[in-house]
Amino acid sequence: MMSKILSRLGLCCVLLPSPVLAQTTPQAAYQLPRAVNSVLTDIVPVGTKFWMAAGERGHILQSMDGLIWQQMPVPLQSNLNSIYFTDETHGWAVGHDASILHSNDGGASWQIQQFLPELDKPLFDIFFKDPQHGIAVGAYGMFYRTSDAGKTWVNEFHLELASVDDQQLLAELKETDPEGFAVEMSSVLPHFNRLYADGTTLYLVGEAGFFAKSQDFGLTWQRQTEFYNGSLFGITRTKALSLIAVGLRGHVFRSTDQGLSWQQIAVPSPSTLNSVINDENGRVYLLGNAGTLLFSDDDGQTFAAMNQQDGKAILNAVVIANQLVLATETGIKTIQLKESKAL
């Protein structure tokens, strides 16, 4: 069985054999002395007290200072792609095998809420608006919702997220070919790569320029006109209220009108960009393959490079004090930042 090794997926073209994913019953992740140097795909702050990171083979790590990281016990070995906490107690992580993990003790221990290796599909992102209500999304339009803190996850299909042509095709098949309709439903939607909440607006970006937004926490969606025909892996709102979206081959787009129109921004790197974040001073960071690390002090209008010489993919990052802490394909890396000018 072959599997994508990483999430967003800047390294999506790297296919590796993954015997772990062939298991029909979950097995606990191995506790490794150098887990901090393994492939890490996501890193998040948890309140103001600690940070969590997640990555390959079920690795979840915790740090109280951003410098020293400790591996947490996890009951499965599936590659993990995203981790999210609603507060300093309740957290979730998602990954391959459509797996969903939950912690109710600040990440000290984890329990499996969903494990579906028979699907052979990864979940890429997860978001909760409160400790009870959450959404998990992934490959081939996978979309799960919970209203009870993950005790149950319900699979949803949102026809409005399909293209107009595919909506028409499904309508025809539903009337003429029920079997074909069922098959098409499982493959007609694109990969959903990233969820991003901006107040009451929930954004969803994905494969082939897919971009949608919802005003009711994903109960209904408005698919937006594609402004790029490649995959998008990250989106954020800047401190100055612009939207920045990033994707394949160094493509960066900026919107100042709530995503109604987009301007392509030239950047000094052709590498795929996996994530975009910003700090409290308004500096915007782009994180990508081949050690790509770009920053902007003018609200994403221009970017300069502070690329990493090791050439290792950077999947995500957080700013801790005056340091940028990176989740990379070779683990945690810390960079001392120069002072950024507040916008």
For residue 254, the surrounding DSSP H or E stretch is strand 252-255
The confidence score (pLDDT) of residue 181 equals 85
Concatenating the DSSP letter of every residue in 82-97 gives EEEESSSS-EEEEETT
**Inter-residue contact 311 to 290 (CB < 8 Å):** yes
- Average pLDDT estimate for 47-55: 95
Distance in angstroms (rounded) separating the CA atoms of residues 156 and 152: 13
Q: Return the minimum-mean-pLDDT range out of 83-97, 270-284, 328-342.
A: 328-342
The confidence score (pLDDT) of residue 240 equals 96
**Inter-residue contact 121 to 139 (CB < 8 Å):** yes
Residue 168 neighbours by CB distance under 10 Å: 11
Task: pLDDT band for 179, please (50, 70, 90 cuts).
Answer: confident
Task: pLDDT band for 340, please (50, 70, 90 cuts).
Answer: low
The predicted-structure confidence for 263-286, as pLDDT tens digits, reads as follows: 999 999 999 999 999 999 999 999
**Chain mean pLDDT for the chain:** 92
- Average pLDDT estimate for 139-168: 96
- Average pLDDT estimate for 249-264: 96
Q: Which of 227, 236, 196 is nearest to 213 (CA)?
A: 196
Task: pLDDT band for 78, please (50, 70, 90 cuts).
Answer: very high
The predicted-structure confidence for 5-34, as pLDDT tens digits, reads as follows: 344 444 443 333 344 445 688 999 999 999
- Average pLDDT estimate for 192-206: 97
The confidence score (pLDDT) of residue 15 equals 32
Task: pLDDT band for 210, please (50, 70, 90 cuts).
Answer: very high
Concatenating the DSSP letter of every residue in 13-71 gives T-EEE-GGGG-SS--PPP--TTGGGS-EEEEEEETTTEEEEEEGGG-EEEESSSSSEEE
pLDDT at 129 over 80: yes
- List the domains of the chain with CATH numbers: 2-243 (2.130.10.10)
The confidence score (pLDDT) of residue 14 equals 35
